[in-house]
Amino acid sequence: MTDRYLTVDQVAELLGTTTRFPRRLIEERRIRYVKVGRHVRIPESAVEEYVTARTVEPVRLRRTALRRAA
């Protein structure tokens, strides 16, 4: 149990968004969270998983594909 549990405000700051965004992720159950009484906490690993799952890698184009036909 070495995972840090973050508040909604901390997750919003970490993602660079408003608090509304992590709250929507929780409501739509798109991110793991833990209820501690009436408080909601999000494991730091859940935030990392969310970001990793939605990271889009760049597409490498071959130079020949960029040339114009004569």
**Alpha helices (H) in 1-70, listed in sequence order:** 8-15, 20-27, 44-53, 63-66
In the structure encoding, which two tokens stand for residue 50, read together? Answer: 């969310």
User: Can you give the pLDDT at residue 69?
Assistant: 63
- Show the CA angle centred on residue 48, arms to residues 34 and 41, nearest 5°: 20
Residue 68 lies in a domain: no
Residue 47 lies in a domain: yes
User: Can you give the pLDDT at residue 62?
Assistant: 74
Residue 44 lies in a domain: yes
- Show the CA angle centred on residue 3, arms to residues 44 and 47, nearest 5°: 15
Domain that holds residue 26: 5-55
User: Can you give the pLDDT at residue 38?
Assistant: 96
Query: What predicted TM-score, i.e. pTM, was given to this entire model?
Result: 0.78
Residue spans of the chain under pLDDT 50? none
By C-alpha distance, which of 38, 25, 2 is closest to 11? Answer: 25
User: Can you give the pLDDT at residue 55?
Assistant: 95
Residue 62 lies in a domain: no
Q: How many domains does the chain have?
A: 1
User: Can you give the pLDDT at residue 47?
Assistant: 97
User: Can you give the pLDDT at residue 67?
Assistant: 62
